Amino acid sequence: MLYIFLSVCCSVLVSILLKMAKRYQINVVQAITWNYAIAAGLTWVFLKPQIKSVTQAPVNIYLLLGLLLPAIFYIMASAVRSAGIVRTDVAQRLSLLLSLTAAVFLFNDHFTSLKIVGIAVGFVAIFCLIPWQKKHVVTQGNRNTWMYLLGVFLGFGTIDILFKQMALNKTAPYTASLFIVYLIAFGVSLLGSAYQIQFKKKRFMFRHIFFGFILGLFNFGNILFYLKAHTALAGNPSTVFTAMNIGVISVGTLVGLIVFKEKLGVLHKVGIVLAVIAIALIAYASK
């Protein structure tokens, strides 16, 4: 569970940085672009991927992940603008259903009674922790609203499943796979940045690169530890999927309380307690 904990911490730090981007007038598209460049560089320097050792590489997985990783940022931003924070958050959390379905039918995960109880408690915790009270301007009559929400649901679920497949792949070391995925994601993001600069007259500035460097550092840690968790718990993908989802939203809630001075309602407090119980049950069931 250590890898899951480290991945959760990095994921929450990525969310904090993205939340701070508006305050410091950071162009998120440019920051995301350089984030993947930095992540690829860190993979090359510290993990020393053996690209030549890649045989029969799962190119389809690489391409899908390389496209989806940057795309999900843009889809989520559009969903928040169109549908609001709450509905977008619900769509993201419900993507766990896709991951759990894949755990059963694709990865042959075995669900014990204790694990099922833990997952059920986890879903209750997730819905308790969703910021239902937050207000956000929603674009009325936008025909694309449900498409954006569906994109968030399918996007996050698909990314989880693809990373699990990549971790299980025996024809390519995960370090080499990670490096290739980051390069593809960088290329896709670079096209988005170039479009903004050329047609929307956005300025290229050093602070966006610096912000992207910090973002890339934690994004690198997030995905690396997530893959390590799936490798360490190869027979229990549902444990990783559920613990990550519960962990991110519960730790994120605590950070909001401590760092951003957000108020916790009774429902949030109940959610945090249930999240701890759920993770304990799932961890015990996976032994």
Which residues touch 269 (CB under 8 Å, ≥6 apart)?
Answer: none
Looking at residue 71, its pLDDT comes to: 93
The model's pLDDT over 94-144, given as tens digits with 9 standing for 90+, comes to 899 999 999 989 998 988 899 999 999 999 998 888 776 655 555 544 567
Report CA 92 to chain centroid distance, whole Å. Answer: 9
The answer to whether 53 and 176 are in contact (CB under 8 A) is yes
Q: Is the pLDDT of residue 165 over 60?
A: yes
Burial (CB < 10 A; 0-12, 13-18, 19+), residue 250, is: buried
What is the C-alpha to C-alpha distance for residues 111 and 109, in angstroms, rounded to an integer? 6
Looking at residue 60, its pLDDT comes to: 93
Looking at residue 32, its pLDDT comes to: 92
The answer to whether 92 and 150 are in contact (CB under 8 A) is no
User: What is the mean predicted confidence (pLDDT) over 29-33?
Assistant: 92
The residue ranking higher by pLDDT, 249 or 217, is: 217
By mean pLDDT, which of 86-95, 121-130, 232-241 is the weakest?
86-95
Looking at residue 134, its pLDDT comes to: 59
Looking at residue 142, its pLDDT comes to: 59
The answer to whether 129 and 266 are in contact (CB under 8 A) is no
User: What is the mean predicted confidence (pLDDT) over 68-81?
Assistant: 85
Looking at residue 136, its pLDDT comes to: 52
> Residue type at 123?
F
The model's pLDDT over 48-61, given as tens digits with 9 standing for 90+, comes to 998 877 777 889 99
What is the C-alpha to C-alpha distance for residues 165 and 174, in angstroms, rounded to an integer? 10
The model's pLDDT over 170-182, given as tens digits with 9 standing for 90+, comes to 888 888 999 999 9
Looking at residue 133, its pLDDT comes to: 63
Looking at residue 28, its pLDDT comes to: 87
Rounded to the nearest integer, the mean pLDDT of the chain is: 87
> What is the pLDDT confidence band of residue 38, given thresholds at 50, 70 and 90?
very high
The answer to whether 158 and 64 are in contact (CB under 8 A) is yes
User: Domain boundaries in the chain?
Assistant: 2-285
The model's pLDDT over 254-278, given as tens digits with 9 standing for 90+, comes to 888 888 777 778 888 898 899 989 9
User: What is the mean predicted confidence (pLDDT) over 52-75?
Assistant: 88
Burial (CB < 10 A; 0-12, 13-18, 19+), residue 285, is: buried
User: What is the mean predicted confidence (pLDDT) over 241-246?
Assistant: 91
